[in-house]
Amino acid sequence: MSARPVATPEWAAKGTAAFEAAVHSLTDPGFARPSYLPGWSRAHIVAHVARNADALVNLLTWARTGVESPMYASGDQRAREIEEGARRPAEELRTELLAADSRLAAELAAVPDECWEATVRTARGREVPASQVPWMRAREVWVHAVDLNIDTSFDDVPHDVCAALLDDVTAAFRARPDCPPVELRAEDADRTWLLGAPGGAEPVVVSGDVASLTAYATGRPVPGPLYPTGGGSLPKLPAWL
């Protein structure tokens, strides 16, 4: 089972509201402008987040019924649906996002307490308890609100969500040989996170506020200053999600 964070319901709800507000602020031509993700427009981000809601509905249905229901039929199907969604008119894409968010909210409310520990499988093949689904959605909407490349940064993401994202990155990078040893040290919290496999070389210490550390660890634009050991350059981290 996964050791990744378990979200409070408010994290996903507030993140969904923030993402929807950011999308609502876009003009129709603005959907075609680049996002922070290479090769993706803002429309790609919106289509992806909508399809992710439906994919998580599949996992919750699996948990509730016991009938296996994968997030996506295949990686090709996932990519195709995102591309098709990104080509739709902006108003249609807005409507699809709201509808998908509503379906997910209804399914989250419908899962009986005894089903949250049912084992489901992520798109990357990890077996996790269904109780991870709210965190998977909170992570998705908050990070992609930044990726829309409008005016949302990790400074706008709640402090506890940023800390949970750093927990998530740490879990993902712990055994990756391509991750250099880095210790993230929060100046606005009594927390540190160690990236990379333990027991290797002395880690480079990178200090900064939690929001900026989260942006750096997730490969997003960093809103504030970061201070690596000795004043050198920041170590290059592998791609997260």
Is pLDDT at 234 greater than 50 in this prediction?
Answer: yes
**pLDDT reported for residue 219:** 96
Going by their DSSP bridges, the two strands 119-121 and 182-186 should be labelled as unpaired
Banded model confidence at residue 22, pLDDT cuts 50, 70, 90: very high
pLDDT, mean over the chain:
94
The predicted-structure confidence for 71-94, as pLDDT tens digits, reads as follows 998 989 999 999 999 999 999 999
- Average of per-residue pLDDT across 150-169: 96
Is pLDDT at 176 greater than 90 in this prediction?
Answer: no
Which of 204, 197, 151, 159 has its CA nearest to residue 178?
197
Is pLDDT at 47 greater than 90 in this prediction?
Answer: yes
Choice between 48 and 75, residue whose per-residue pLDDT is larger = 48
* Measured CA distances, 14 to 11, 31, 50, 66 (Å): 5, 22, 16, 29
| Range of lowest pLDDT (4-13, 41-50, 185-194) | 4-13
Is pLDDT at 153 greater than 90 in this prediction?
Answer: yes
Walk me through the domains of the chain, giving residue ranges and CATH numbers.
Answer: 9-152 (1.20.120.450), 159-231 (3.30.1050.20)
pTM: 0.93
Banded model confidence at residue 1, pLDDT cuts 50, 70, 90: very low
Which of 129, 137, 74 has its CA nearest to residue 101?
137
Token digits of residue 239: 């791609």
Is pLDDT at 199 greater than 80 in this prediction?
Answer: no
Q: Where are the beta strands (DSSP E) in 37-195?
A: 119-121, 127-129, 182-186, 192-195
Rounded to the nearest 5 percent, the helix, strand and coil shares of the chain are 55, 10, 35
Is pLDDT at 2 greater than 70 in this prediction?
Answer: no
Going by their DSSP bridges, the two strands 127-129 and 227-228 should be labelled as unpaired
